[in-house]
Amino acid sequence: MRWPVFLALVLAVLAALAGCARIAAVGPGRVEIGGGLSVQAAAGWNRLPRGAFGAGAAWTRDGPGLDALLFVAGHGEGEPLFAHTRERKALLLRASMTPTEVMELWATELALADRRMVTVGSLMPAEFAGAPGFRFQYAYADADGLVFDGYAAGAMIAGRLYLIAFSGTRAHQFRAHWLAAAALIGSARIVSD
């Protein structure tokens, strides 16, 4: 019985954080993510404790080892995509980045998080939160060899990056939760202060 290494790590992070937070249900309804970003969530999403994956916010339906919805909510010049890469100067955002460069940075973050066979592609212009933005697809295998598909959509708005990414196992979770994730991404709104 070799429990997946990746899950053990995620779990451990959760356990370490357990003192201050537990996994909570979110929605149904409009949910504020932070940085002015809000989304319309259907029932069924669980919000992981703050700090999971190093993301601004991370949600899941079946558990973080099977599917994950990650939010980047308005990160600007000199900020990292994920909190744990703050110290790596080569991984910081620039306000002038093109979608191509954001997608490349995403691939690096995945590779550094012990994902294997990371691929990114199918980059297209696409509206995000009513602004001109982009979308792309990605894929990877975790340390146990479980293969994941992913879809990310975002926009650089007034020098700040907003991005929502959903990934799930290729065998089931990506397909099973795709409609819920796509509806959520399509509902993104940004209120600037």
Partner 1 sequence: MNRLPLLLCVLALAACSAGLEPMAPQARPALADDEAGVWLAADRAEHGLQSAPHRVRDPALNRYVQGVACKVAGTYCGDIRVYLVREAGLNAAMLPNGVLTLQTGLLLRLADEAQLAAVIGHELGHYVERDGFAQMERARQLGDIGAWAAVFGAALGVPGLDSALETEAALDILAFSRDQEGASDVFGLERMAAAGYAPQAAVEVWDLILAEAGADGATPADRLLATHPLPEDRRERLNAAAIALPQPPEGRGRAAYRAALAPHRAAFLADEVRLRQPTATLRLFRYLAERDGLDAVLAFHWGEVHRLRGWKDDRRKALATYARALALPDVPVETHRSIALVRRALGQWRGARFAFQRYLAHAPDAPDRAIVEAYIAEVL
Partner 2 sequence: MPPFHRLFLLLALLALAGCAGGSAREVAQLRTADGPASIALMPLDLTLTRRSAGGSEHPVADWTLAAERNLTLALMAAARERGLRLQPVRHDLWTQPSLRPLHLLHRGIEGAILAHRFGDSRNRLPAKAGPLGWSLGREAAVLRAYTAADYALFVSLDDSYASAGRKALGIASLLLVGMPVSGGRQTGLATLVDLQSGAVVWARHLDRSTGDLRQPAAARETADALLEDLPQ
Q: Which does 158 bind (CB under 5 to 8 A by kind): partner 2, partner 1, none?
A: none
Under rule CB under 8 A, residue 112 binds partner 2? no
Would you report the helix, strand and coil content of the chain in percent, each value rounded to 5? Answer: 25, 40, 35
Write down the least CB distance from residue 191 to partner 2, Å: 25
Q: What ranges in the chain are assigned the alpha helix state H?
A: 5-17, 99-112, 173-186
Q: Binds 24, which of partner 2, partner 1, none (CB < 5 to 8 A, cut-off by type)? A: partner 2
d(CA 193, CA 186): 22
13 binds partner 1 (CB under 8 A): no
24-83: which residues touch partner 2 (CB under 8 A)? 24-27, 43-46, 60-63, 65-66
Residue identified by tokens 């990414």 is 165
Is the previous residue joined to 4 through a cis bond, with omega within 30 degrees of 0? no
State which residue, 2 or 193, has the beta carbon closest to partner 1: 2
Closest separation in Å from C-beta 135 to partner 1 = 10
Separation of alpha carbons 40 and 32, rounded Å: 9
Residue type (1 letter), 160: R
Radius of gyration of the chain (CA): 16
For partner 2, the closer CB: 48 or 165: 48
C-beta of 125 vs 159, nearer to partner 1: 125
- The rounded distance, in Å, linking the Cα atoms of 53 and 166 is 13
Binding partner selected for residue 100 from partner 2, partner 1, none, CB under the kind-specific 5 to 8 Å limit: partner 1
In the complex, the smallest distance separating the C-beta of residue 167 from partner 2, rounded to whole angstroms, is 13
Residues 6 or more apart from 179 whose CB is under 8 A from it?
A: none
- Determine the interface stretch with partner 1 among 14-22, 47-55, 62-70, 122-130 (rule: CB under 8 A): 122-130
Residues within the interface to partner 2 (CB under 8 A): 1-4, 7-9, 11-16, 18, 22-27, 43-46, 60-63, 65-66, 144-147, 169-172, 175-176
